[in-house]
Amino acid sequence: MPLPTPVPAPGLEHLLSLVTPADTARGMFFNGLLDAVRSFGSEEVRAKVLAAAGDRKFVDFRSYPVSDLLKAIYTATDLLGPRMGGRDAILHRLGRRATEDFLHSTVGKTMVALAGTDPHRLLANFPNACRASLSYGERSVEKLGDKHVRMMARRDFLPMLYIEGILTAVVEQAPVQNLVVRGLRISPLDVDYDISWS
């Protein structure tokens, strides 16, 4: 069966028009992003990203509007992208770095403890970790082979390349080689992620 034609990524204004007040993310996503921005950029860049996020202190397990997280991510990519390989590269790096922080949180440690170093189990636990951290969207995982998994994300506001970075960091908790994570956007908020390794 032929693959569907990829759909262009929605811009920030389009995403913000689709968000509702009930769509939230835990503070750890904000804190992870801000820590990543500081390490990749400077305190001045971090201050601008913090301002875009609402200029407040984030508590890891409190919920905040995902619209503020999106504004912060897009501000970070605009500021860091030109000197870090472009928008796509920095989105991937930000997702990957923020996930390293998530994996040190209580939810992340629990996910890794339950899965051990089995990549299938790590990915199978990923939707539950998202449900504990994000109020919106649905994610499910389908095993396609011994070293091949597809994750379907529906009504997900976070940029596809950011999620590719997240999934890369998650699977790298296992002793895998030649890891490939590739998203295919099938509608503005729906993406299928093919994940394979050797």
Domain-by-domain residue ranges, the chain? 1-198
Under CATH, what is the fold of the domain 1-198?
H-NOX domain (3.90.1520)
Q: Is the pTM of this model over 0.85?
A: yes
Instruction: Work out the mean pLDDT of the chain and round it to a whole number.
Output: 91
- Tally of CB atoms within 10 A around 111: 22
Q: Is residue 150 exposed (0-12), middle (13-18) or buried (19+ Cβ within 10 Å)?
A: middle
1-49 confidence digits (pLDDT tens)? 555 677 888 999 999 999 999 999 999 899 999 999 998 988 999 999 9
pLDDT-based confidence at residue 187 (cuts at 50, 70, 90): very high
Kindly indicate the confidence band of residue 97, based on its pLDDT and cuts at 50, 70 and 90.
confident
